[in-house]
Structure 1
C-alpha cells in the first residue's frame, strides 16, 4: 500500500487534471504527468496515468463518427503504436531507467506545447499531404510518448490542422489519446514498469479523475475559455521550464 501522502497527492493531481480536461477537452495526461514527476519517478507517474487516461479518452472516443475517422486516421494510429513500442530501447528506457532524461524530455515537450498554445498559431494541412504526414506525425507522437509519457505533441496540433468539425475533432483527439494510452501501457509493461502497485494506484486515481472531469464539464460555461486556455498554457510553460531546470540539477 503506497503511503497516505502519496495517495492524497495523486488524488489531488487527478482531480485537477480531470477538471482541466472537463473544461477544455484535453490536458489530463499533460497535467498529471507533469505534476506527478515532482513526487515520484517518471515511469511510475506514466503507469499511474494509464487507467484514468484510458477511461476518460474511451468515453471521448465513442460516437457514430468513429468508423469514418478510423478510415481516415488509421495510418497515424498504426504509426503511434509502432513509434511508442519502437522507443522501448531508447524512450521507454529513459522512462524506466535514468529519470533525468525522461524529466528533461517531458519538460521540453510541455514547454513546446505551452509556447505553441500561447502563440495562437493556426495550421492547415492540404488533403494531398495527409497520406504522408499522418504516419510521420504518428511516429513522432509515439516516440515522444515512449520517452515522456505525454502524447499531445505533435498529435494535437496536427489533428487541429485537418479542418475537422468540432465534434469530429473531439472524437479524433479521443481516438489518438486512447491508442497512445494502450501503446504506452504495453511499452511500460515490456519495461517492467507497469506492475501491481502501479496498477493499484492507477485504479485509485480513476475516481478523482472522473470527478474532476465532471466538475470541469459542469462549470465549462461559467469560465471564459480564452482566459482559461491562457492560464493553462502559461502553466504548462512554467512547469516545463521547471522540469528542464530539475533535469539539469
Structure 2
C-alpha cells in the first residue's frame, strides 16, 4: 500500500476521475482506456507508475468488452485475426523490457506523435486502405508496431484501430475484435511488467483501486455506444485520439 499512502487525497480523487472517464470512453468507442489513463495519470505521477496503474483496469475492461456478445463470437474474432494477435503479444513481451531504459519525454513522444498524425489525417478525409492480396504483409507490419508500442507504453490501440478501419470493420465487430486483441495483450502486458518490475506489490493496489471507476464508466459508455450510428462512432473515436495524442506530445515536449 506504500504508493497509495504517499498520494495526497486530491491526487487520488483525480486518479479516480481519470479512471471513470477512461472507462466511459472505452465503453463508448471500444478503445482508448490505456491512452487516457497514461495521458491523464502521467500528468500527476511518474510515467512508470501511471503505466502500472492502468494494467488491471485494462485487463478486466477488455475482457468485459470481448465477451459482451458471448464466448463464441469472441473466439471467432480471435481465429480470424490470430496472426495479428500473435504478433501483438510477442512484441509486447519483448518491448516491455525497454521501459526502464527510455526517458519519460521519449516515451510520451513515441506514443503521442503517431497517434495525433493518424487521427488528424483521418478527420481530414484520408483513408488507410489496401487491396485484399496485401492484407497479410500489412497485418504483420501493423501488428508488430502495435505490440512494440504496447509493451513500452501500455497503448497499442491506434495501430489496431487504423488496421480495422482500413478493413471497413462494422461497429459491433470492431469493438469485439478490439476487446479480444487488447484483452490478450493486456494479460501479456501484466506478465511482462511483473517481470520488468513496473507492476509489483507497491503499485498493484493503485491499479486495483482504479477498477471500480473504470467499470462504472464503461457500463455508462456501453449505453452511449448502443445509441451511436457508424459515422458518429468513427468521428468520436478520432476526436478522442486527437485529444489524447496532443496531451502526450505536450508532456513529451514540456516534460
Q: Same fold (TM over 0.5)?
A: yes
Shift in CA distance, 151/44, structure 1 to aligned 2, threshold 3 Å:
same
> Counterpart of 1:154 in 2: which secondary structure?
helix
The reply on whether 1:69 has 2:97 as its aligned counterpart is: no
Shift in CA distance, 233/197, structure 1 to aligned 2, threshold 3 Å:
same
Q: Which runs of 4+ in 1 moved over 6 A?
A: none
The equivalent of 1:243 in structure 2 is 251
The equivalent of 1:27 in structure 2 is 32
The equivalent of 2:89 in structure 1 is 81
| TM-score of the superposed pair, with normalisation by structure 1 | 0.86
The equivalent of 1:185 in structure 2 is 190
Shift of 1:37: 0.7
Shift of 1:157: 0.6
- Which has the higher mean CA deviation after the structures are superposed, 99-108 or 140-149? 99-108
The equivalent of 2:148 in structure 1 is 143
Separation (CA, whole Å) in 2 of partners of 1:241 and 1:103: 6
- Which has the higher mean CA deviation after the structures are superposed, 216-225 or 18-27? 216-225
User: 1:196-211 counterparts in 2 under 5 A?
Assistant: 196-211=201-216
Residues 186-224 of structure 1: CA deviation (Å, up to 9, x unaligned): 221221110012211111100100111222333453996
Separation (CA, whole Å) in 1 of partners of 2:170 and 2:235: 23
Separation (CA, whole Å) in 2 of partners of 1:60 and 1:39: 28
2:149, 2:156 within 8 Å by CA — same for their partners in 1? Answer: yes
Shift of 1:237: 4.2
Aligned pairs, how many? 244
> Counterpart of 1:39 in 2: which secondary structure?
coil
Shift in CA distance, 219/76, structure 1 to aligned 2, threshold 3 Å:
closer
1:48, 1:198 within 8 Å by CA — same for their partners in 2? Answer: yes
User: 1:84-99 counterparts in 2 under 5 A?
Assistant: 84-90=92-98, 92-94=99-101, 98-99=103-104
> Counterpart of 1:60 in 2: which secondary structure?
helix
Specify every segment of 5 or more residues in structure 2 that has no aligned partner in the other structure, as ranges: none
The equivalent of 1:105 in structure 2 is 110
Residues 148-207 of structure 1: CA deviation (Å, up to 9, x unaligned): 221113111102222333322211111111122122222212211100122111111001
Shift in CA distance, 36/192, structure 1 to aligned 2, threshold 3 Å:
same
Cα-Cα RMSD: 2.5
The equivalent of 2:134 in structure 1 is 129
The equivalent of 2:177 in structure 1 is 172
Shift in CA distance, 123/71, structure 1 to aligned 2, threshold 3 Å:
same
Shift in CA distance, 206/109, structure 1 to aligned 2, threshold 3 Å:
farther
Shift of 1:228: 4.6
> Counterpart of 1:26 in 2: which secondary structure?
coil
Shift of 1:30: 1.2
Shift of 1:65: 2.0
